[in-house]
Amino acid sequence: MYKWPQGRIVRIVCLLLTALVTFDLAYNGAYGPLTAGEGTKQFVVGIVFCVLAFAALVSGLVAAGFHPKAVDFLIEVEQEMVRVEWPATNVLIRSTLIIAVAIVVMAVMILGVDLVNLQFLDLVRWLGGKL
Protein backbone atom coordinates (compact mmCIF):
# COMPACT_ATOMS: atom_id res chain seq x y z
CA MET A 1 0.00 0.00 0.00
CA TYR A 2 1.14 3.51 -0.77
CA LYS A 3 2.76 5.16 2.29
CA TRP A 4 1.00 2.72 4.65
CA PRO A 5 2.43 3.81 8.00
CA GLN A 6 1.19 7.34 7.45
CA GLY A 7 -2.46 8.25 7.85
CA ARG A 8 -3.54 4.89 9.23
CA ILE A 9 -6.43 6.22 11.32
CA VAL A 10 -8.11 8.18 8.55
CA ARG A 11 -7.55 5.34 6.08
CA ILE A 12 -9.15 2.84 8.44
CA VAL A 13 -12.12 5.19 8.92
CA CYS A 14 -12.49 5.54 5.13
CA LEU A 15 -12.29 1.77 4.67
CA LEU A 16 -14.93 1.23 7.38
CA LEU A 17 -17.22 3.78 5.70
CA THR A 18 -16.65 2.03 2.36
CA ALA A 19 -17.54 -1.30 3.94
CA LEU A 20 -20.68 0.27 5.45
CA VAL A 21 -21.79 1.63 2.06
CA THR A 22 -21.06 -1.74 0.47
CA PHE A 23 -23.06 -3.60 3.09
CA ASP A 24 -25.95 -1.15 2.78
CA LEU A 25 -26.09 -1.46 -1.02
CA ALA A 26 -25.88 -5.25 -0.95
CA TYR A 27 -28.40 -5.69 1.88
CA ASN A 28 -31.02 -3.30 0.52
CA GLY A 29 -30.66 -4.67 -3.00
CA ALA A 30 -30.86 -8.32 -2.03
CA TYR A 31 -33.40 -8.14 0.77
CA GLY A 32 -35.82 -5.47 -0.40
CA PRO A 33 -39.55 -5.98 0.12
CA LEU A 34 -40.84 -8.78 -2.07
CA THR A 35 -44.33 -8.74 -3.51
CA ALA A 36 -46.21 -11.61 -5.09
CA GLY A 37 -44.95 -12.46 -8.58
CA GLU A 38 -41.95 -10.13 -8.50
CA GLY A 39 -39.29 -12.63 -7.42
CA THR A 40 -37.39 -12.42 -10.72
CA LYS A 41 -37.44 -8.63 -10.68
CA GLN A 42 -36.11 -8.59 -7.12
CA PHE A 43 -33.41 -11.08 -8.07
CA VAL A 44 -32.23 -8.83 -10.92
CA VAL A 45 -32.31 -5.78 -8.66
CA GLY A 46 -30.33 -7.74 -6.06
CA ILE A 47 -27.68 -8.64 -8.63
CA VAL A 48 -27.42 -5.02 -9.77
CA PHE A 49 -27.02 -3.82 -6.18
CA CYS A 50 -24.45 -6.54 -5.51
CA VAL A 51 -22.39 -5.39 -8.51
CA LEU A 52 -22.69 -1.76 -7.34
CA ALA A 53 -21.64 -2.77 -3.84
CA PHE A 54 -18.62 -4.65 -5.14
CA ALA A 55 -17.66 -1.66 -7.33
CA ALA A 56 -17.96 0.66 -4.32
CA LEU A 57 -15.81 -1.66 -2.23
CA VAL A 58 -13.08 -1.97 -4.87
CA SER A 59 -13.02 1.77 -5.61
CA GLY A 60 -12.88 2.58 -1.90
CA LEU A 61 -10.03 0.15 -1.33
CA VAL A 62 -8.10 1.52 -4.30
CA ALA A 63 -8.71 5.14 -3.31
CA ALA A 64 -7.85 4.69 0.37
CA GLY A 65 -4.95 2.35 -0.15
CA PHE A 66 -3.25 2.74 -3.49
CA HIS A 67 -4.17 5.97 -5.31
CA PRO A 68 -1.32 8.41 -4.52
CA LYS A 69 -3.36 11.64 -4.65
CA ALA A 70 -6.14 10.23 -2.45
CA VAL A 71 -3.66 8.77 0.03
CA ASP A 72 -1.69 12.02 0.22
CA PHE A 73 -4.93 13.92 0.83
CA LEU A 74 -5.95 11.55 3.63
CA ILE A 75 -2.49 11.82 5.22
CA GLU A 76 -2.72 15.63 5.10
CA VAL A 77 -6.21 15.50 6.65
CA GLU A 78 -4.96 13.42 9.55
CA GLN A 79 -1.95 15.70 10.07
CA GLU A 80 -4.20 18.77 10.04
CA MET A 81 -6.64 17.21 12.52
CA VAL A 82 -3.76 16.73 14.97
CA ARG A 83 -2.99 20.47 14.78
CA VAL A 84 -6.59 21.58 15.33
CA GLU A 85 -7.14 23.40 18.61
CA TRP A 86 -10.43 22.13 19.99
CA PRO A 87 -12.47 24.51 22.17
CA ALA A 88 -12.89 24.00 25.90
CA THR A 89 -16.23 22.68 27.11
CA ASN A 90 -17.43 25.98 28.57
CA VAL A 91 -16.53 27.90 25.39
CA LEU A 92 -18.35 25.30 23.30
CA ILE A 93 -21.49 25.46 25.44
CA ARG A 94 -21.49 29.28 25.44
CA SER A 95 -21.04 29.42 21.66
CA THR A 96 -23.82 26.88 21.16
CA LEU A 97 -26.20 28.88 23.36
CA ILE A 98 -25.39 32.11 21.50
CA ILE A 99 -26.10 30.43 18.17
CA ALA A 100 -29.35 28.90 19.47
CA VAL A 101 -30.56 32.28 20.74
CA ALA A 102 -29.61 33.93 17.43
CA ILE A 103 -31.59 31.28 15.53
CA VAL A 104 -34.67 31.86 17.71
CA VAL A 105 -34.41 35.65 17.27
CA MET A 106 -34.06 35.27 13.49
CA ALA A 107 -37.03 32.89 13.39
CA VAL A 108 -39.20 35.35 15.30
CA MET A 109 -38.11 38.18 13.00
CA ILE A 110 -38.90 36.15 9.90
CA LEU A 111 -42.28 35.18 11.38
CA GLY A 112 -43.03 38.86 12.02
CA VAL A 113 -42.12 39.86 8.47
CA ASP A 114 -44.24 36.99 7.10
CA LEU A 115 -47.24 38.06 9.20
CA VAL A 116 -46.88 41.68 8.05
CA ASN A 117 -46.65 40.53 4.43
CA LEU A 118 -49.72 38.32 4.89
CA GLN A 119 -51.72 41.23 6.32
CA PHE A 120 -50.56 43.44 3.44
CA LEU A 121 -51.57 40.79 0.91
CA ASP A 122 -55.00 40.45 2.54
CA LEU A 123 -55.39 44.25 2.35
CA VAL A 124 -54.46 44.26 -1.34
CA ARG A 125 -56.96 41.45 -2.03
CA TRP A 126 -59.69 43.30 -0.09
CA LEU A 127 -58.99 46.53 -1.99
CA GLY A 128 -58.94 44.61 -5.27
CA GLY A 129 -62.37 43.17 -4.53
CA LYS A 130 -63.77 46.65 -3.88
CA LEU A 131 -62.67 47.98 -7.26
Domain residue limits, the chain: 8-83, 86-131
The answer to whether the CB of 77 falls within 8 A of the CB of 9 is: no
DSSP secondary structure code for residue 32 in this structure: P
Comparing CA positions, the residue from 31, 23, 15 lying closest to residue 53 is 23
Q: What's the pTM value of the predicted model, to 2 decimals?
A: 0.41
pLDDT beyond 80 at 18: no
Most confident of 12-21, 68-77, 93-102: 93-102
Q: How confident is the model at residue 35 (pLDDT cuts 50, 70, 90)?
A: low
Please report, as a single letter, which amino acid is at residue 55: A
